[in-house]
Structure 1
Amino acid sequence: MPAITVDDVLVLPRVPAHDPATGTIRPVRRVTTAPSGFEGEGFPVRRAFAGVSMTELDPFLHLDQMGEVEYAPGEPKGTAWHPHRGFETVTYIIDGIFDHQDSHGGGGTITDGDTQWMTAGSGLLHIEAPPEHLVASGGLFHGLQLWVNLPRSKKFAPPRYQDIRGDQVALLTTPDGGALIRVISGSVAGHDGPGSTHTPITISHLTVQPGAQVDLPWRADFNALVYVLGGRGSVGPQLRPVRTGQLAVHGPGDTLRIAADARQDSRAPRLDVYVMGGRPIREPIARYGPFVMNTRAELLAAFEDYQAGRLGVVPAADVPHGAGQQPPR
């Protein structure tokens, strides 16, 4: 699980030690286990937010852990062309390579440690797939896709991309150097990640060495979600156990406590967690498939616009002979 790393974390800025006289460790409200499924053309995913209420997730909507899977030659898979409107997708690649393209001419390639941040806004068509050489060779693939809601005032914002390279993220460590903190967006202890957000949020990927502990400063007005990408550890003031594929939903406070077990499995020798938080939007949500709006009427309009081609059309070179646009599932 390389993402982006450094040879010596002790040269990095350090988050301050937690002071119990001035700060509060956020308690853990619940721990859920992600069920497994398949997405797109058949790549395996864990549905990280399954069973968690939208009230606790707000402003986030959906999180898939894609893989971790070792593909044989010919096996790597992606998605077909599909529409989006009304929210943002944040795709973080830990291992492997993904190409992406949209109906507005945007696109690119993301690989180890990169994030592709797509604001769908008013709407577009999009496709994600491994490059041909990876399909031919096979290989390791592991990543995440997070959906972030947009407030009513931004639902019809023009689509935009941010391609955030792994070496652009802010890197921090703990007072004892026991963890590497990658700040992708928002701010941790005054250090800002490169992601520009419509909704105030913070996203970080932490790698915690066996036996080490992180007390991560966290905005009190943000919610706090900790998803375990790999390894075993514990969270919160009572050190509640967590493992690969589990999500910890936190209560109020201004610090997150995350600790790695002293003994880890050889497959996941360290604790890796994806930490998300944001200011809740607290607006009505009308949601179906790839459309996230505020009302049912807006949802129906999104379907009509999609079917009428107003979200864009698939480039002719990518349309199989005789194929036509079909409504999203």
Structure 2
Amino acid sequence: MCFMTQSAHRTVRRQHAAVRDDIGELITRRPLPGTTLEQLDPFLFLNHHGPQHYPPNNRGLPFGPHPHRGFETVTFILEGSLAHADSGDHQSVIETGGVQWMTAGSGLVHAEVSPEAFKRDGGALEILQLWINLPARLKMVEPAYTGLQRDDIPKVELDEGRARLALIAGALGGETGPIQSLTDVFMSTLALSAGARIALPVPRERTVFLYVVDGEVSVGGTAVNPHHLIELEADGDEVLIEAELDARLLFGHASALNEPMVSYGPFVMNTREEIQQAVEDYQAGRFGGLEI
């Protein structure tokens, strides 16, 4: 399957490097927010953990119980395994190729830690976590969680099999992703073999989120760098991606909210008063509790 047409290709506005910011022994790079880009409305935050190899009898990931309100988190387990638990009684262990999609909404406490088997045996680990803002009308929606294993996510073959898109949310090529986004977000991961050339449709009014995990690619004819967030102009209705070497990318798009945003740690709201209320609600135990 191929999506090559005569449509205009978006051009690169700027490349934003992921800054190294390790969390203890966990290798971490963060392109958003960064010194050159605060947010890419409605996309707020991306952490790239790893790749690295944990030895046997390790302490695992450091993300014990903590609160969120006002946005969604999407966690991509590129390699390794990840255990999730939250105060809404959702629990899962997601393996390589899987995804966790959590709507924090009105507020919950969650933890993302390594399963006991991973801590005992060790292994390779690489994880991405993306935060997506919610509009004011949905800030206080009921929290929700979906855990997807690799086989739960449909794959769209592109460019005669030289590219493979794992479709998490949205529709493409006759397939529909298993996540029904509250705000019509399209979200996927891409694996391209050297020589792949694809053009993915995106309406001009939508914000594109494109992060190069690794490999060597060009976007709209411009060579781009691994570990960079690629900010695109709104000058076309397709994103042209060509792979010089094998590559992996995070690719999504969504409508900008164009609303005021105030963030404080794990809370993202529209006003300072709402942030203060979130802090008070959490301290009063209104998010529920979680013990792991």
TM-score, scaled relative to structure 1: 0.84
Tell me what 2:267 maps to: 291
8 Å contact 1:17–1:175 — kept in the other structure? no
1:247 aligns with 2:219: no
Deviations 1:2-60 (A, max 9, x none): xxxxxxxxxxxx23322x2xx11011100111011124x642211022235356x1111
Is the Cα contact below 8 Å between 2:61 and 2:112 reproduced in 1?
Answer: no
**SS of residue matched to 1:48:** strand
For the pair 1:73 / 2:56, whether they are aligned, the reply is yes
Show the counterpart of 1:46. 29
Q: CA deviation at 1:87?
A: 0.6
SS at match of 2:119: helix
Cα distance between partner residues in 2 of 1:257 and 1:275: 12
Q: Output the CA distance in 2 between the equivalents of 1:94 and 1:206.
A: 11
Q: What is the deviation of 1:219?
A: 2.5
- The Cα of 1:189 is off from its aligned counterpart by 4.3
Deviation of 1:173 (Å): 2.2
Q: Structure 2: how far apart are the matches of 1:156 and 1:184?
A: 24
Q: CA deviation at 1:181?
A: 1.4
2: CA distance between counterparts of 1:225 and 1:171?
19
Moved over 3 A (4+): 51-55
Q: 1:85-234 counterparts in 2 under 5 A?
A: 85-234=69-218
Which of 56, 61, 68 is the matching residue for 2:44? 61
Q: 1:276 to 1:130 in 2, by over 3 A?
A: same
Mark the structure with the bigger radius of gyration: 1
Higher strand share: 2
Could you report, residue by residue, the CA deviation over 1:56-111 in whole angstroms, capped at 9, with x for unpaired residues? x1111101111111111233323121000011111111111110111232121111
Distance 1:78 1:98 in 2: 12
The answer (yes or no) to whether the contact 1:36–1:47 under 8 Å persists in 2 is: yes
CA distance in 2, matches of 1:184, 1:171: 9
**Residue from 256, 259, 262 that aligns with 1:280:** 256
Aligned to 1:325: none
The AA in structure 1 aligned to 2:267 is F
* Paired positions, count: 289
Post-superposition shift, 1:131?
A: 0.9
User: Quick one: structure 1 residues 189 and 113, their matched pair in 2 at CA, closer, same or farther if it must change by over 3 Å?
Assistant: same
Classify 1:173/1:52 alpha carbon distance in 2 versus 1 (closer, same or farther; 3 Å). farther
Consecutive unaligned residues of structure 1, counting only runs of 5 or more, are 1-13, 265-269, 319-329
Q: Residue 52 and residue 166 in structure 1: after superposition, are their counterparts in 2 closer, same or farther (change >3 A)?
A: farther
Cα contact 1:15–1:216 (8 A) shared by 2: no
The superposition leaves residues 149-169 of structure 1 with CA deviations (integer Å, 9 ceiling, x where unpaired) of 111111111111112222222
Deviations 1:237-268 (A, max 9, x none): xx22223201111112111111111xx4xxxx
Q: CA RMSD in A?
A: 1.6
Cα distance in 2 for partners of 1:169, 1:132 equals: 25
Quickly say closer, same or farther: Cα 1:220–1:168, change in 2 above 3 A.
Answer: farther
Mapped contact 1:188–1:218 kept (Cα < 8 A): no
SS of residue paired to 2:168: strand
* Cα distance between partner residues in 2 of 1:289 and 1:110: 26
Distance 1:54 1:247, change over 3 A: same
Sequence identity of aligned pairs in percent? 37
Q: Does the CA contact (< 8 Å) of 1:96 and 1:140 recur in 2?
A: yes
CA offsets 1:259-303 (integer angstroms, 9 cap, x no match): 111xx4xxxxx1111112100011110101100000000001111
The verdict on how the C-alpha distance between 1:43 and 1:291 changes in structure 2, with shifts beyond 3 A counting, is same
**Cα distance in 1 between the residues matched to 2:129 and 2:157:** 25
Matched residue SS, 1:158: coil
CA contact (8 A) 1:204 1:274 kept: yes
Q: Does 1:271 align with 2:247?
A: yes
Structure 2 SS opposite 1:224: strand
SS of 2:207's equivalent in the other structure is coil
Q: Which runs of 5+ in 2 are unaligned?
A: none
